[in-house]
Structure 1
Amino acid sequence: MAAPMVRGLVLVAAASSSRSPAAAYHARPLGLSLSRSARSRPLGPDTPEWQRGPGPERRRFAAAGAASGVAAASLWPGPGDLRRLVRHQVDWQPPLHVMCAGIRAADTQRRQRQRDRQKLIAANMAKMPKMVEEWRREKREAKVKQREEKARRDRLLAEARERFGYSIDPRNAKFQDMVKELEKEEKKKLKLIKRRKNVEAGGSEVLPAAATP
């Protein structure tokens, strides 16, 4: 009979000794009192700005009530605050019918913009074949003009080399001046040919005005 009791006492002692020492620790309460911490000291010149004003006073009164030393009557909004609240409510909290009217107007404008965009797309798509053909024509004309310009430039270079000799560097200043002179002469020839064609076609030739003495 004694043996089982001894074994039970040994097991209880082993279980109690196996627990962590921290399990038996109970922290002492800090003894903080919200009412005492919220009870404000008199505001002085050293009080920071964030502890001044109606906002901090409301928080102190909410935490400690009358023990905060804040007069409850001073926490109510003044006339200026009320006007700001009313203006804020009008601007940001309009009545339901006003909000619905604004939503309908915005939806109408959105639908109108969508219709206008669809009309513009349809008009541009109708013009697309003509625009593509115009672009191709301009591209062909640009290529033809580029080939003609290259041929004209090569002809002028060949003529300038015949005058200066093929040993001259095309980057030479005299060579470039000669090419420019040849271009001017060619432009004059083209103008004369164009004027002669106009005369042959029955047009009137415009003579230069005589210089006044």
Structure 2
Amino acid sequence: MALPMQRCWGRLRAVTLQCAAGYHAKPRTTGFGGMYKPDPADPDIKEWHKGPKYEAKLYGRYGSASGVNPESLWPSPEQLLLLQEEEKEWYPSLQEMLNNVKQREKEALQKKLERERMIAANMAKMPKMVADWRKAKREARLKEREEKAKKQRLLLLAQEKFGTSVDLRSPKFLEMVKEMEKEEKKKLKAVKRQQREEERAAMTAAIKAATQPKPETDGAV
């Protein structure tokens, strides 16, 4: 068991040494624990080793030994204004957050109360809506029965006039229906006219009775 393991470790060591022999690291630009300052003229400088952010990092770690002018790390007035606007937008104060929470709670309460008022108003209208629906259903059934009765009456009249083989779509039958509808409209107008005349006569009699002087009566017993 030990022999295969020794062979495996030996091969792994040989491969590792062979790879390590071909690796040549670049010489360090600073000593151990020193400060790395890239050469601005070097085209191979990484992006994170450029700009004010890296200089601020160097100054924060090494101070004046970094050779960085601290005045150059302060933002310009334009940058400071942008930072302030960004802070107001994305980092509101505690009071602003509390005000926003109160405003949202107030709006939610108003919506809840409005919804409850709407439900109460609809519930108050419910009996009338049910009564109207039932009335409409009764009127629709009554109208349907009247239409059936009218159609049956017209059919009987047509059979008496044209025979039993009358066609409900024939011009003669349709003409007869028009004539009967005209007669019914005339009768309905006459009934309404008579009702108006009776109401007018009753109103005239009531006015006359109210305006006539009452007969004087003797007050002696």
Deviates more, 1:97-106 or 1:167-176: 167-176
Q: Is the 8 A contact 1:170 1:176 kept in 2?
A: yes
Structure 1 length as normaliser, TM-score? 0.56
Q: Which residue of 1 aligns with 2:92?
A: 94
Matching residue within 152, 155, 160 for 1:157: 155
Matching residue within 3, 28, 45 for 1:13: 3
Larger Rg: 2
Matching residue within 138, 141, 147 for 2:139: 141
Name stretches of at least 5 consecutive residues in structure 2 with no aligned partner: 27-40, 57-72, 203-221
Quote how far apart the aligned CAs of 1:23 are: 10
Q: Is the 8 A contact 1:160 1:179 kept in 2?
A: no
Provide the C-alpha distance between the structure 1 equivalents of 2:134 and 2:25, rounded to a whole number of angstroms: 88
Quote how far apart the aligned CAs of 1:109 are: 2.3
Provide the C-alpha distance between the structure 2 equivalents of 1:172 and 1:22, rounded to a whole number of angstroms: 110
Q: Does the C-alpha gap of structure 1 residues 90 and 176 become closer, same or farther in structure 2, counting only changes over 3 Å? A: farther
2:145 counterpart letter in structure 1: R
Q: Which residue of 2 aligns with 1:182?
A: 180
Q: Which residue of 2 aligns with 1:118?
A: 116
Quote how far apart the aligned CAs of 1:28 are: 4.8
Quote how far apart the aligned CAs of 1:172 are: 3.2
Percent identity between the aligned chains?
40
Q: Is the 8 A contact 1:160 1:175 kept in 2?
A: yes
Instruction: Determine helix, strand or coil for the equivalent of 1:100.
Output: helix
**Larger relative contact order, structure 1 or 2 (CA cutoff 8 Å, min sep 6):** 1
Instruction: Determine helix, strand or coil for the equivalent of 2:200.
Output: coil
Structure 2 length as normaliser, TM-score? 0.54
Q: Are 2:212 and 1:199 equivalent residues in the alignment?
A: no
Quote how far apart the aligned CAs of 1:152 are: 1.8
Q: Are 2:47 and 1:61 equivalent residues in the alignment?
A: yes
Quote how far apart the aligned CAs of 1:97 are: 0.8
Q: Which residue of 1 aligns with 2:101?
A: 103
- CA offset digits 1:121-153 (Å, max 9, x no partner): 233323333332332223222211221222123
Instruction: Determine helix, strand or coil for the equivalent of 1:202.
Output: helix
